[in-house]
Structure 1
Amino acid sequence: MTKPPLSLHLAAPRGFCAGVDRAIKIVEMALQKWGAPVYVRHEIVHNRFVVDGLREKGAVFVEELDECPEDRPVIFSAHGVPKSVPAAAQAREMVYVDATCPLVSKVHIEAARHHENGLQMVMIGHAGHPETVGTMGQLPEGEVLLVETPEDVAGLTPRDPERLAFITQTTLSVDDTAEVVAALKARFPAIVGPHKEDICYATTNRQEAVKAMAPLCDAILVVGAPNSSNSKRLVEVGARAGCSYAQLVQRAADIDWRALEGVRSVGITAGASAPEVLIAEVIDAFKARYDVTEVPVVTAEENVEFKVPRVLREPA
């Protein structure tokens, strides 16, 4: 039986970003340096395949620091942690390595600088997301007000409307965030913004690739985890950019083939914490069912690399 033809549009950039790459490397180097087990507070990155792979090598994932013994190293996830967490690790004289993405750390530094200048912060982010919790936890209680939507801006009651600054989670939708920023500036004209946009280069690049791909595709699949903010944003961006069927899949086994019946063009991308091996698995699944023509959709080139902390570069 002949396979139906299919154009498979492959977004570039997609998948791992420099911050995720660095975080995974930190866990692997810590295991090499100190041996197993090495404890990791929260999933190092939001991808079950990656986490399970590190668990097999000897990483133990916990949600809170008090689940870690004093005599083993602990690593803080790429999403960042409140200031209280490293302080508690120091108080217990633990060896710890901070795998916070440097672009998240940049937002932390920004928040601290504005706080020192007497400004109250407004954070645009998703309530309960580890990155938002970590960033808000850089400052004393009440110093960071959280908004998710333009509607939330109307309900803000700042200490002084003339003394405000805003920061954002790094993995948000670029377009949604622009709407919230516009609402903030309309209500608080004196509000201070970041020197350089907080949404990271990788989030922006992946969203731009999806925007370019969406009008060409009958369907878009985003390889990523359901708890990955940047992956979920890619699904939303694809739908908003004109693709009638945009879905998140963790692996090839999650593809709903019945929903794809009759499609002639499919776009594939992946969130920043999804490894290329899972993307290849999805592409192979299409090749098993269709006569595939691969169409690269390249909107940017990435060559960013972040160094691992010095403690891991030094001999044990």
Structure 2
Amino acid sequence: MSDIKIHNFTNPSTFILLGIPGLEEAHVWISIPFCTMYIIALLGNLTILFIVKMDPHLHEPMYYFLCILSITDVVLCTSILPKMLAIFWINCREINFSDCLTQMYFIQCFVVIESGTFVAMAFDRYVAICHPLRYSTILTNSLVAKLCLAVVLRGGVLALPYPFLARQWPYCRTNIIPEPYCAHIAVVNLACADIRVSSYYGLFVLLCIMGLDVIFIALSYTLILRAIFRLPTKDAGLRTFGTCGSHLCVILAFYIPGLFVSLTYRFGQREALQFSVLISNLYLSMSPTLNPIIYGVRTKQIQTGLLQLFAHRGT
């Protein structure tokens, strides 16, 4: 860190991203799993998008929501990993202040979009299992389009205050961010002002918005489980619940680490900085990587489409 200059300023033009503090010597080795996850995330999610596009049998609400999730994952990991890998490989640590705020916006926006997509997918599973005869009349193409638009607009609007608030604060301490990307709380913590508005807004989105998403998802699955327990045979219940298995896996992989990371940043000890930074980067990289794998393994229709794709290429 001796080659990094710490500036005192009021209006910063650039920030310096440290990567993972204290592990600079291991950055090249740390980059290997992150690069691998990025490649898997891109290939996996783009493959799902291609399969759904090419297979008319998958032109259903469930797979439309899955496409929104895949697009979200591609944008989310692309917002973070290329810059992170540049830091790890060629020590490209500087980031323009406006670019930093743009990155912050995209991260917050697409995390909220992903959460909203999970709610839409839970609603889809609820209708499919609890009201199967009315599925096509409830989840029409018009309603699906409105749900997708609402999810995207909600994420875009809720993320707007993050960069606007961050731009208002005076920065007169340092321009060094102990992260490989512009995390909201890491940036505003550098301000020499009362940043409670930014902090409270972040908690509002975490607890009230994403917390409500978790409540709606839990309510949907409570109703789903009640409907399953009323089925005449155990095998029928297991098969029905199996259709929700992949959805539950990606939900757990998204919300549990996300809650841990958010609370650690706000209430954790400074001594755990390395651990917090590493976990937060794994969290934002792991979800886009795991989602296509989980859906590919647990969703028979995606498996069939993938096999048909390879069979077509082989002929």
Using structure 1 for the length normalisation, give the TM-score. Answer: 0.27
Between structures 1 and 2, the one with greater helix share: 2
Between structures 1 and 2, the one with greater strand share: 1
